[in-house]
Structure formats: structure tokens, C-alpha cells
Structure 1
Amino acid sequence: MTTTAETAVDAADQAQETFEAAFAQGDDTVFRRLYDEWGTLVHTVARRALGDEFEAQDVTQQVFVAAWRGRAGFRPERGNARSWLLGITRHKIADALAARTRRTKLVAAASQSTPHELVTLPDGLLAQQAVDRIVIQHELDRLSAEQRKVLRLAYYADLTQTQIAQRTGLPLGTVKSHVRRGLHLLRDNLAHSLR
């Protein structure tokens, strides 16, 4: 004979299974409930690991975006939603710590290549500009020589594509291709390096 407590536990387990199955199928109201139920826990874990409120908020958002995008991979039989979300959280925290390390290295490199006063301004704007210059320069160096030359003429010398074609002797179509492909490569490389 089952007790009232056992019946309540079975009902709760069944409700949780129904909830998790609906989430895996893409029910956005269930996703909202998932966030309401576990968002605070995810945020707390991220804040404790990172020691920074803004990074913790960012990680929390990334966790739930990843959960929504990866919901088809959620398998309730392997573990509950809480465990799954905490697993995603651990990965996103590791990514945030790696990005922090990369930023620290870039700031250190910027401080060696720019006057110390520029790096330590309270608003951080000039420090960020120095880091941005170093990152973009690094990514430009990864492009082909012709793409690099065309992009530098376009953005540093502020020349039009027609003027670049005249100055370099390259056909206008080639200049346009170099600009377009070079910008796509820069965008993809920058997105990858800032993850």
C-alpha cells in the first residue's frame, strides 16, 4: 500500500518529467518557468566563481541562451534540468575566466606599448582603445598582404575603393573583394578570439 507521501513524491516526479519533456520540445512558457526556478541559482554560482556581478549576469544570460538553443540535447533520463543547467554554467564560467585572462594579457601588452598614463585613466576609455588597437592589429596581421594593404588604405588612410584601386593599380572589383573578404575574416576572427 502506498502512503500519501509516496503518492506526493510520485506526482512531483511525474510533473517534473512532464515539465522537462515540454522544455525539450521547445515550449517557451516552460522555458520561462525554468528560468524562474533556476535563474537565481545559476546567477549565484556564477557570481561566487567570478567575483563580479556584471560578469555573473552575463554568464547567467549565456547559460539560458545556450540552454534554449541546446534544448534538443537535453535528456531528462540522464539528469534533471538543474544538473544540466549547472553543467552549462560551469562551461560558461570557464569561458568567462578564459576571456578574463585574455583581456588581462591584452591590457598588459597595451601597457608595454603605450604610455603608462594612457592605460591607467579612471574611465578606462583610453586603455580600452589601446587594447582594441592591439587586437585589431593582431587580426590584420593574420590577413593576406593584399587584404591588409587594402583595409589599411580604406580605414587608416580613409580612401575610397576607387582611390585604392588607382593607388594600388588593382582592379576595382579586386579591391571590393579584398575589402569584403577581409572584413568578414576580421569579424569572424575577432568574434572567435573574444569568446
Structure 2
Amino acid sequence: MTSAQQTGAYIDIADHADADDADLVDGFLAGDETYLAAVHHRWGALVHALARRSLGDDREAEDVTQLVFLAAWRGRAGFTPERGNLPAWLVGIARRKIADALSARTRRNELVAAAGARLLLAAPGEDARPETVLDRVVLADELSRLPAAQRRVLNLAFYDDLTQTQIADLTGWPLGTVKSHARRGLHRLARRLGEPDALECAA
């Protein structure tokens, strides 16, 4: 998360394990990365639990937790103890990061739904239209460029209309793994389809 982690500063957490909240806040605001480590150690579970409950996904919750503490560290000058305690401030940041994650998820889902409706579910009689054929070729080509696991998950979702739970049952992969492959594949597909030439072909 920070250079503290990279340089092994987390080994000093024990030095602050018995520190009271006020001491942790003082060290944190002073820019001591070992105090950031201690703050993360003390309140990371709180942030993660909030993210996990809201997002329903451990990996996304872990990502959000890291973003929260990174944002807190970078924006620590904006924390005013007189206006509230540090855990409450972290929760406030967490709620914003969770909202961002949910918005990003919604955008991905909307994009894929629109792409699926446009590219894969053409109305009867439209299959022979040149633009429809091009759409299918573009999507098939982009899917073929994905890593095998991501491609398999998206093919099962697109073409077989399976839910992520059904895909997990079929493949034997953990649900979290399926979600991860889907999320990464969709991100890559969305990024590629979002390029001007791809949009022009799919219009």
C-alpha cells in the first residue's frame, strides 16, 4: 500500500500495539508511516467489514480497504480531531470509496448489458445485416484476445446466459474466482470496445 509496507515498516506495529487512540492519531498526522501501519492494523477490519457488507465480495472489499487507507494517508492534513475521531473519518472515506466501487460496477454492467443486447441478441431478421455481422465479428475477436479463464467465463455468461453461481458450479471454480475473471475480462473488453474504432464498428 505504501513504502512502509514495501520496506517492512509493518514489523514495528508491535511498538504501537498498546498506544491509545490519541497517540496513534498524533503519530499518523505527523507522517510516521509506522503509525499508518498501526492505524491500519487497528481499524482495517472495521473498514473491510463495511466494504464487504456493502459490496458482497471479499476481493473488492480488500481493494476498497487499501484505497481507504491510501486516501487517508494522502489526505491526513484534512483530518481535524476536533470534528470527530479517526475511525469515524475512515468510515466516511470508506463510504465514498464503496460508492465509487458500486458506480464502477454499475457502469461495467450497463456497458456489458448494452453490448450484449446490441451485439449478441439481434432481433430476428437482423442477422444478415452487414453491421450486425461486423458487430459479432468485433465482439468475437475481442473475446478471443482475453486470457483463457476470462474468455471462458464471459462466453458462458454471454452465449449460455449463465449466472456467476452457475458458472462456478459448471467449472468447479470458487465463486470469487469466477467473479474475478468476469470483472477483469469485462474491464478489458469494455476498455477495448470503448476505443473510437471499436465503437465505430459497433455503432
TM-score category of the 2 structures, normalised to the smaller one: 0.5 to 0.7
Cα drift, residue 15 of structure 1? 3.8
What corresponds to 2:104 in structure 1? Answer: 99
Within a 5 Å distance, the mapping from 1:70-109 to structure 2 comes to 70-109=75-114
**Does the 8 A contact of 1:114 with 1:130 survive in 2?**
no
Which residue of 155, 161, 165 maps to 1:121? Answer: 155
Long gaps (5+) in structure 2: 1-18, 122-135, 144-153, 157-180
Q: CA RMSD in A?
A: 2.9
The residue matched to 2:83 in structure 1 has which SS? coil
**Does the 8 A contact of 1:43 with 1:60 survive in 2?**
yes
**Does the 8 A contact of 1:110 with 1:130 survive in 2?**
no
Aligned in 2, Cα 1:105/1:21: closer, same or farther, shift over 3 Å? same
The residue matched to 2:63 in structure 1 has which SS? helix
How far apart, in 2, do the equivalents of 1:126 and 1:48 lie?
24
The number of residue pairs the alignment matches comes to 128
What corresponds to 1:39 in structure 2? Answer: 44
User: Deviation digits for residues 91-117 of structure 1, max 9, x if unmatched?
Assistant: 001111111110011111221333369
**Does the 8 A contact of 1:110 with 1:131 survive in 2?**
no
Amino acid at match of 1:93: I
How far apart, in 2, do the equivalents of 1:127 and 1:96 lie?
15
What corresponds to 2:70 in structure 1? Answer: 65
Query: Could you tell me the percent identity over the aligned residues?
Result: 47
User: Deviation digits for residues 13-60 of structure 1, max 9, x if unmatched?
Assistant: x94223212211211111100000000110011000011111111100
Which residue of 14, 24, 38 maps to 1:19? Answer: 24
Aligned in 2, Cα 1:138/1:32: closer, same or farther, shift over 3 Å? farther
User: Deviation digits for residues 51-84 of structure 1, max 9, x if unmatched?
Assistant: 1111111100110110110011111111111111
What is the TM-score with the length of structure 1 in the denominator? 0.57
How far apart, in 1, do the equivalents of 2:185 and 2:77 lie?
44
Cα drift, residue 87 of structure 1? 0.5
**Does the 8 A contact of 1:63 with 1:92 survive in 2?**
yes
The residue matched to 1:114 in structure 2 has which SS? helix
Cα drift, residue 85 of structure 1? 0.5
- In our comparison, the structure showing a higher alpha carbon Rg is 1
Long gaps (5+) in structure 1: 1-13, 142-195
How far apart, in 2, do the equivalents of 1:96 and 1:34 lie?
23
Aligned in 2, Cα 1:130/1:139: closer, same or farther, shift over 3 Å? closer
How far apart, in 1, do the equivalents of 2:83 and 2:61 lie?
27
**Does the 8 A contact of 1:121 with 1:127 survive in 2?**
no
